Amino acid sequence: MTESTRYPGIHDDVYGGMTDLGRIIRDAWVFGLLPETETCEGWDRARFDDLYARVHAAWEPYGHLASRLPAELRARHERIYADAVARARALGWSADLDDEDE
C-alpha cells in the first residue's frame, strides 16, 4: 500500500484479506480495537500505521502468541481466523501460495 492509495476493505482484499493488512484488521477485531463490522475500506496508510501500533501493543502481554491468550480472546481469535480461512479457500486461496503467487 502506497501513501496515496486507499485500502479496498478486508472483504475486497486479496483472497478476502489474507494479507498483512487483513491480519492487522482481524487482530484488531480479536482485541476489540475495531468492531467486527469495520472493514477499513478507504483507509490510508497513516490509519493503518496507527492501528498496527495499537494491535502490536495489545499482543505484547501475550508474547504475540495466540496460545497465550486468555480463553475468551483465544476463542474469538480461533473463530475470526477460521472464518477468514474458510472465506479465503472459497475464493481459491491455498496456504501453499506465497506472495509471489498472488
| Model confidence pLDDT, tens digit, residues 27-73 | 999 999 999 999 999 999 999 999 999 999 999 999 999 999 999 99
Helices (H), the chain: 20-30, 45-59, 71-90
What b-and-e string marks burial along 66-101, b requiring 16 or more CB atoms within 10 Å of the CB? eeebeeebeebbeebbeebeebbeeeebeeeeeeee
Written as nine digits, the cell of 83 is: 472464518
| pLDDT tens digits, one per residue of 81-99 | 999 999 999 999 988 865 5
